[in-house]
Chain A
Amino acid sequence: MRIGVLAVQGDFQEHCAFLNKLSVETVEVRLPEDLHDLDALIIPGGESTTIGKLARQYNLIEELRKLSKTIPIWGTCGGLVFMAKEVGFDQPLLGIMDVEVERNAFGRQVESFEQDLFIDGLEGPAFPGIFIRAPVVKNVGKNVRILCQINNDRIVAVRQNNLLATSFHPELTSDDRLHGYFIAMAENPK
């Protein structure tokens, strides 16, 4: 199992360390040539405007769009923003996920928070949700399944076939269930 982590900016090292602990080989992706022979790809948290611009400068946007048709891709926080079709700002987007996203939907950093979550498809106790200047999904297309909602039905985790996206940061926790869920998506591509 080889999972690429988009490494242009953000907490890609945290995702790599998490996957390595689960005995998964990781590749830091900065250029199109780093995308060979991957079983799946993670787009980490970070500044979505920065990630988008750096991806565009080195021709990663088209390559990632092509890849999204063949392997599982998971975006966390800024990664969710980058995958979305519409975010209400003029910034480079992959547009591979049929969702409309609101950036910084809970406010600025002083409003960042931790909250227990119950996520469709995860067994066991609540999942520790870490929300940092987090986005939410405002609208979903018909092929998008909602996996988790919090306060007044705000959508914070979604899946569209081989694409997974979360507003929060499992890579900052010690709970490996969502990484396990994603690895299972890569092991059994549908």
Chain B
Amino acid sequence: METGTLTVKRGHAQMLKGGVIMDVVTPEHAKIAEEAGACAVMALERVPADIRAHGGVARMSDPGLILEIMSCVSIPVMAKCRIGHFVEAQILEAIGVDYIDESEVLTPADESNHIDKMNFKVPFVCGCRNLGEALRRIAEGAAMIRTKGEAGTGDVVEAVRHARSVIGEINKISVMRTDELAAYAKEIGAPLELVRETAEKKRLPVVNFAAGGVATPADAAMMMQLGVDGVFVGSGIFKSGNPAARAKAIVQAVTHFNNPQILAEVSKGLGEAMVGIGISQLPESERLAVRGW
């Protein structure tokens, strides 16, 4: 009997496919998310929109809050640590969270190094903007990838940009001659072995969700049609007028992403979507997606 293997770490993400992972800040939110059909929740002290509004240094949440959320739902519970903050990760592993998000939404603790994720039994998910960044994270041990988008904005444009970038680059390498792959690996700063594996499989070697700016069922279904395996929704649910209804609608939209009739039906009468911030109004210094090396 062997625990913490690459297979069980990556395998857990495979069980989340076709699902929605929702940010929650209280046990009540977690219950609403589970009731709506979330396949997992991300336990946080503040959703990204509030992290933006609050300013200052954003850190790992109180382990007490995370444990409280873990005790009130039966679905997997994820939690975030800062980029490079391996002790926050050790703490999250010690309390038994099911997945750690080494997240650019929190203030980075290290501006050169990400966590060596191979050293942990708990699996990690990491953000990316392009194929090179995704494969660097996988090389460090990430068992799941999410495209970053721009968290806490409610604007899907960056999520689309990052998903198209990753998927477009995979399409490109899948038709390259094998002798071109080495130069390409060097160009994007990714290990050649992983570039080869990705080209052969025509997909990332791990599950890839979309994140950062998904606010409506249509946003979620669009990301699925672009080719991601599932969707994270952060501020989009609990910053909206009717979280329970919106959560349920987004879950249905991810399952029936190719069925416009059902998408129309579930999009009706959801009340106010989160107000949001247009990316074009967001100064470069306030963009979270640029964090990650």
Chain A residue total in the interface (Cβ 8 A): 38
In whole angstroms, how far apart are the Cα atoms of A115 and B18 in the complex? 27
In whole angstroms, how far apart are the Cα atoms of A164 and B37 in the complex? 25
Residue B121 lies at the interface, judged by CB distance under 8 Å to chain A: yes
Q: Mark B79-114, 1 if CB is under 8 A from A, else 0.
A: 000000000000001001111000000000000000
Known: A109-B122, A113-B1, A133-B98. A104 touches B74 (CB 8 A): yes
Partner of B37, one of A53, A77, A132: A53
In whole angstroms, how far apart are the Cα atoms of A12 and B16 in the complex? 11
Partner of B15, one of A8, A47, A107, A108: A47
Known: A46-B15, A54-B37, A130-B8. A151 touches B1 (CB 8 A): yes
Residue B256 lies at the interface, judged by CB distance under 8 Å to chain A: yes
In whole angstroms, how far apart are the Cα atoms of A169 and B5 in the complex? 14
Number of contact residues on B: which range applies? 35 or more
In whole angstroms, how far apart are the Cα atoms of A151 and B3 in the complex? 15
Considering only residues 1-46 of chain B, those with a C-beta below 8 Å from chain A are 1-5, 7-9, 11-12, 14-19, 34, 36-40
- Which chain A residue shows the least CB distance to B70? A108
Partner of A9, one of B17, B34, B70, B74: B17
- Which chain A residue shows the least CB distance to B8? A112
Partner of B11, one of A49, A54, A103, A112: A112
Q: Is the CB of A133 within 8 A of B12?
A: yes
A residues less than 8 Å from B4 (CB atoms): 110, 112
Partner of A115, one of B2, B11, B37, B251: B2
B residues less than 8 Å from A169 (CB atoms): 11
The winner among A11, A78, A103, A104 for most chain B CB atoms within 10 A is: A11
Considering only residues 41-96 of chain B, those with a C-beta below 8 Å from chain A are 70, 74-76, 93, 96
Considering only residues 1-38 of chain A, those with a C-beta below 8 Å from chain B are 7-14, 30
Q: Is the CB of A9 within 8 A of B19?
A: yes
Partner of B19, one of A46, A103, A111: A46
The winner among B1, B2, B75, B252 for most chain A CB atoms within 10 A is: B1
Q: Is the CB of A10 within 8 A of B18?
A: yes
A residues less than 8 Å from B15 (CB atoms): 10-11, 45-47, 77-78, 132-133
- Which chain B residue shows the least CB distance to A173? B7
Q: Mark B245-275, 1 if CB is under 8 A from A, else 0.
A: 0000001101110010000000000000000
Residue A182 lies at the interface, judged by CB distance under 8 Å to chain B: no
Chain B: minimal CB distance from A6 (Å): 11
Partner of A50, one of B11, B12, B19, B96: B19
Q: Is the CB of A109 within 8 A of B12?
A: yes
B residues less than 8 Å from A104 (CB atoms): 74
Q: Is the CB of B12 within 8 A of A132?
A: yes
Chain A: minimal CB distance from B192 (Å): 24
Q: Is the CB of A110 within 8 A of B96?
A: yes
Q: Is the CB of B255 within 8 A of A109?
A: no
Residue B152 lies at the interface, judged by CB distance under 8 Å to chain A: no
Q: Is the CB of A172 within 8 A of B40?
A: no
- Which chain A residue shows the least CB distance to B3? A113
In whole angstroms, how far apart are the Cα atoms of A98 and B18 in the complex? 28
The winner among A77, A104, A109, A130 for most chain B CB atoms within 10 A is: A109
Partner of A110, one of B16, B18, B75, B93: B93
A residues less than 8 Å from B76 (CB atoms): 47, 108-109, 133
In whole angstroms, how far apart are the Cα atoms of A7 and B93 in the complex? 31
B residues less than 8 Å from A50 (CB atoms): 19, 37-39, 75, 251
Partner of B1, one of A53, A57, A110, A114: A114
In whole angstroms, how far apart are the Cα atoms of A9 and B16 in the complex? 7
The winner among B37, B96, B121 for most chain A CB atoms within 10 A is: B37
- Which 3 A-B residue pairings sit nearest by Cβ, starting from the closest? A109-B98, A112-B8, A47-B39
Q: What is the interface of chain B, defined by CB distance below 8 A to chain A?
A: 1-5, 7-9, 11-12, 14-19, 34, 36-40, 70, 74-76, 93, 96-99, 121-123, 251-252, 254-256, 259
Q: List 19 A-B contacts (CB under 8 A).
A: A13-B17, A46-B15, A46-B18, A47-B75, A47-B76, A49-B34, A50-B19, A50-B37, A50-B38, A53-B37, A54-B37, A108-B97, A109-B12, A112-B11, A112-B12, A114-B1, A132-B8, A132-B11, A151-B1
